[in-house]
Amino acid sequence: MSRPIAILGGTGPAGLGLALRWTRAGETVIIGSRDAKRAQEAGARIAATVGPEAKIRGNENSAACAAADVCVLTVPFDGQAELLKQLKTAFKPGTVLIDATVPLAATVGGRPSRVLGVWQGSAAQQSAELVPRGVAVAAAFHNISADLLNGDGPIDCDVIVCSDDDHARTVASELAHKLPGVRAIDGGKLENARIVEQITALLIGLNIRYQAHGTGIRITGLPDRQSGLGSARNILGSAHKILREQDAPSG
């Protein structure tokens, strides 16, 4: 993907972890923040970790949003609506917004293992209501632990992608597949984000109960074709292998 990915609210653990992994994968990343300097410092830290080939910078959220075709939203639920209202004029038509927001009760002083009821059904559906026409929303990355994202190893987790827009689903799935170990699963319509968001609260409860840091989810029993781009890539990989074998000199 050559277009920049803006991570709005990218200075927290979730945004930084995604930024680190996508920068390592060769993507161009813009960290967004309410404070341009904080974003630049975060970008510089990731660049120092990844090395001279890193294509990452930081900027204030609306400037980051305006410079990207793909935006990923990683803010606490209590800041989501206000930020999206501020960004209304910054979004370019055709932008894909990938929402990772979980409406945890902790954002309003409640338990981290509980979710708030959202009038629209889910945080992602609230986003879809607030973005300007022409911006497509996908929900993804809710169940992935920031601790694992910020590490070096593969990530043992599926990413369930929900969207009413095929292009947004494809973009989010492609980005999920750029995270080592991760498989994207087509979770159907955006309204299913409600279920996926709630799973995060369950995982936080499990982390507390088992004193774990990186619980995640894996969906079992899917036929290979159901796992979307991963299987498409496998098919392409097999086709290339067959072609290579055919081209190889015999004897």
Query: Least separation, in Å, of the C-beta of 53 and ligand NAP?
Result: 25
- Site stretch for ligand NAP (CB under 6 A), options 5-13, 63-71, 165-173, 187-195: 5-13
CA 196 to CA 108: how far, in whole Å? 20
**At a CB cut-off of 8 Å and minimum separation 6, what does 129 contact?**
120
> Is 62 a residue that touches ligand NAP (CB under 6 A)?
no
Q: How are beta strands 158-163 and 70-73 bridged, if at all?
A: unpaired
Smaller CB distance to ligand NAP: residue 12 or 132? 12
Binding mask 95-134 for ligand NAP (x = CB under 6 A): -----xxx-x------------------------------
Binding mask 41-60 for ligand NAP (x = CB under 6 A): --------------------
Query: CA angle 176-87-119, nearest 5°?
Result: 75
Helix spans in the chain (H):
13-24, 36-50, 61-66, 77-86, 123-130, 146-149, 166-177, 193-210, 229-247
- Interface with ligand NAP in residues 164-223 (CB under 6 A): 200
Give yes or no for a contact between 3 and 26, defined as CB atoms under 8 angstroms apart: no
CB count in 10 Å sphere of residue 57:
19
Size of the site for ligand NAP (CB under 6 A): 28
CA 162 to CA 140: how far, in whole Å? 7
Query: Least separation, in Å, of the C-beta of 94 and ligand NAP?
Result: 24
Smaller CB distance to ligand NAP: residue 159 or 168? 159
- Site stretch for ligand NAP (CB under 6 A), options 9-17, 43-51, 205-213, 235-243: 9-17
Query: Least separation, in Å, of the C-beta of 71 and ligand NAP?
Result: 13
Give yes or no for a contact between 110 and 46, defined as CB atoms under 8 angstroms apart: no
Smaller CB distance to ligand NAP: residue 82 or 166? 82
Query: Least separation, in Å, of the C-beta of 246 and ligand NAP?
Result: 44
Smaller CB distance to ligand NAP: residue 108 or 242? 108
Burial bucket for residue 49 (CB in 10 Å: 0-12, 13-18, 19+): middle
- The footprint of ligand NAP (CB under 6 A) covers 9, 11-15, 33-35, 38, 74-79, 82-83, 100-102, 104, 141-142, 144-146, 200
